[in-house]
Chains A and B, each alone.
Chain A
Amino acid sequence: MKYLDEYRDQRIARALAAEIAQSTTRPWVLMEICGGQTHTIMRYGLDELLPSEIELVHGPGCPVCVTPLETVDKAIELALRPDVILVSYGDMLRVPGSRSDLLRAKAQGADVRIAYSPTEAVKIARAHPDRKVVFLAIGFETTAPANAMAAWQAKRDGLQNFSMLASHVLVPPAIRALMTSPSNRVQGFIAPGHVCTVVGCKEYEDLVRDFRIPMVVGGFEPVDILDAVLMLVRQLEAGEARLENQYARSVSYQGNLPAQKIVAEVFEVADQKWRGIGAIPRSGLRLREEYAAHDADRLFGLTGLVVEEPAECISAQVLQGLKKPLDCPAFGMRCTPENPLGAPMVSTEGACAAYYHYRRHAANTQPDIAPNNKEDLCQLKTAQ
């Protein structure tokens, strides 16, 4: 497949791995922010290709995983009302709330529908003027423009039966929180390519400057990620801290200006709670006052709900890169995708689900290849 196969090319990937091995002289801890990148790493076994000095830890960039428990509970409560159609991305349906999940609500008769795009929810609202259509709008800066567009369309068309239960999170404040946490181990970041496609690179330059930490805006295919790791290793080995853009085929410095414009028109920055992490100041987006008529929180009077989350799994440490899913005693035993203890085991972008689907044999057995041998990789490169 054009534009994809070249980024999964075995020879290029192996050559990059060899280059990384040659460039690495000491241990480095790198974090990929985005859950999509985590899945590529697990799916293609990229960590197996890296020298043992390079440790990849997985970041908080899974929107489903960090959506607070209250939001899930509110969505379930709304879905169970007979006059409501709840529209959601498919991933959210199996995420456990404090007592139930949306799939179970659906089995109890709630009208829960899956949409690939938020504007589908607007269409549903148009088709059902007698019902209240609530769109469960979650996500990072990547989904915010499309969600904003849905609210904007609803306002433009005076669609009184469309509202949004919004839980939007922003990446840079989360990186700041990680960097200022006393337990931080991360020495370099692969920044989220799709987020930067929308917002551009400016905010990430600020992070590089404020924390003197190297960052590479990275893509999502195996070659992208290995390339980004190589760029980070070269900076770290040279004692540099710059922002580099590996994903230039998608990311420009300014980002997508029309997308930024619609987000700014519909949303404003607000404090936000992250599931498993806690409240982070100014780390989310909420609907502006002008959109109050389409804000499900205000419309249905849901604002007061606070749910305490019991301390049962280590997702908070996983989401901060302090622990790996395989470090969890419940992993694969009491916590599985069918019976998840936490959201990272549910979402297709969750780190625990990535380990479970692609790597759980590693919990008991050694991987069958040991590519940490630098000589082998170097020989491979010379052979090419």
Chain B
Amino acid sequence: MSAKDSAVIDFNLSCPTPLPARDTVLLGHGSGGKLSAQLVHDVFLPAFKNPALNRLDDQAIVNVNGQRLAITTDTFVVKPLFFPGGDIGSLAVHGTVNDLAMGGATPLFLSVAFIIEEGFSMDELRRVVESLRRAAEEVGVQVVTGDTKVVEKGKGDGLFINTTGVGSVRDKVDLSANRARPGDKVLLSGSIGDHGIAILAQREGLEFETEIRSDSAALHTLVSVMLGVTREIRCMRDPTRGGVSSTLNEIAQQSRVGIEIEEASLPIHEQVRGACELLGLDPLYVANEGKLIAIVPPENADAVLQAMRRHYLGTEAQIIGTVLDAHPGLVTMRTPLGTTRIVDMLSGDQLPRIC
């Protein structure tokens, strides 16, 4: 075919009508991204609004007879139940303990609720319970109450676990995602993306030269060390579902500030980078279960960073960025080429059922 006999195309402008995601619940509503935020704002907040809830932090801080208590709840639907570096039992402890720790609380008590599908192996259940027990013992929290429900075969997917945690908040500590101020430094406790990629590799049967392990860990001792340096830390968050990008976007939006991070400063293990390249994922959006992001006043940033690096969960800690008064609500990243791009919040699910 030559240029001459190629037909001249009459380009008709066409596009479909929009489909707002408000009529049915989609998987993306559980992703921790924009759809989740929309669900919370449209359905849950109007129903329950109160000062403790309205802060929208990972935990509520309530005052009981002059004592500040942190309370949080989390449900675990991870698939597969066992993965390199952890399982649903240890994850159910770490996830809830971390949400307490991010509020500056010492974790004290846990409740555990099991939703089990009929036909589930008793042996696997025992393994999960043993792992949960060991994790709770290591953290020093007691499981003081619980619940069991069994659903018909085919109506659940093996096992779901809910844990609720209660902790006491340290004096003179006020950590919240609305406290970031221009000039503050953004600290990250270590490599990103390990948990999400470990789960995905297990689920999809991907094999790497060395196994990628989940970073699932309880962060309360790392938090203790950091608050031991200064109680002026503004905010701590663990970047779980939705990854570092979602956490930073939440902080930027709730504090009405901009955040700029340096791509070159992000600690990412080589295996995770490779897996992300292969699968077309961005490590900034991949879940972590043993990492924290802290917003720290500039004068304390170095001291806090050094203290983190001396703790075994923070050896790879980095200052990854700065809080700005420019572009409030937006997170940007300086690329190695010196250009700047947006780090957006994920709208739907990159990887469902990661925790």
Contacts and interface: CB of A to CB of B under 8 A. Distances in A.
> Do A and B truly interact?
yes
Interface of A: 1, 4, 8, 10, 13-14, 42-46, 48-49, 69, 94, 96-101, 103-104, 106-108, 116, 173, 176-177, 179-183, 210-211, 222, 275-282, 309-317, 320, 334-343, 348, 356-361, 365, 367-369, 371
A310 B14 contact: yes
27 contacts: A1-B273, A8-B337, A10-B338, A13-B337, A14-B337, A44-B335, A44-B341, A116-B204, A176-B3, A180-B6, A180-B7, A180-B9, A181-B11, A183-B11, A211-B3, A278-B14, A309-B15, A315-B13, A316-B11, A338-B347, A339-B21, A340-B18, A342-B15, A342-B16, A348-B280, A368-B340, A369-B340
A107 B349 CA distance: 14
A211 B3 CA distance: 7
Interface in B16-42: 16-21, 23-28, 34-35, 38
B9 A96 contact: no
Contacts of B26: 103-104, 107
Contacts of A13: 337
Nearest to A276: B14
B180 interface: no
A344 B84 CA distance: 37
Which of B6, B34, B279, B337 has the most CB atoms of chain A within a 10 A radius of its CB? Answer: B337
B12 A316 contact: yes
B295 to A, nearest CB: 21
Given A107-B24, A179-B6, A348-B280, 20 more contacts: A1-B274, A43-B341, A45-B340, A97-B16, A103-B348, A107-B27, A116-B279, A180-B9, A182-B8, A276-B13, A277-B9, A278-B14, A309-B16, A312-B16, A316-B15, A337-B347, A338-B35, A339-B21, A358-B341, A369-B340
A311 to B, nearest CB: 5
Contacts of A99: 19
Contact of A69 (B9, B16, B18): B16
Nearest to B28: A103
Contacts of B10: 278
Nearest to B204: A116
Nearest to B279: A116
B330 interface: yes
A379 B14 CA distance: 47
A368 B324 CA distance: 13
B277 interface: yes
A315 B21 contact: no
B299 interface: no
Contact of A278 (B2, B11, B270): B11
B28 to A, nearest CB: 7
B299 to A, nearest CB: 26
A183 B270 CA distance: 47
A48 B339 contact: yes
B332 interface: yes
A69 B3 CA distance: 29
Chain B at the A interface: SS class: loop
A276 B15 contact: yes
B218 to A, nearest CB: 31
B327 A98 contact: no
Nearest to A73: B16
B262 interface: no
Given A45-B335, A45-B337, A103-B28, A341 B16 contact: yes
A48 B334 CA distance: 13
The 7 residue pairs across chains A and B that have the minimum distance between CB atoms: A45-B339, A309-B14, A313-B15, A342-B15, A358-B341, A210-B3, A176-B6
Given A177-B9, A338-B34, A357 B19 contact: no
B212 to A, nearest CB: 15
B277 A4 contact: yes
Contacts of B154: none
Given A45-B340, A108-B24, A96 B19 contact: yes
B337 A280 contact: no
Interface string B280-291: 100000000000
A44 B336 CA distance: 8
A328 to B, nearest CB: 10
Contact of B14 (A173, A311, A338, A369): A311
A96 B17 contact: yes
B74 interface: no
B122 interface: no
A97 B340 CA distance: 34
Nearest to A97: B16
A334 B17 CA distance: 11
Contact of A100 (B13, B19, B38, B204): B19
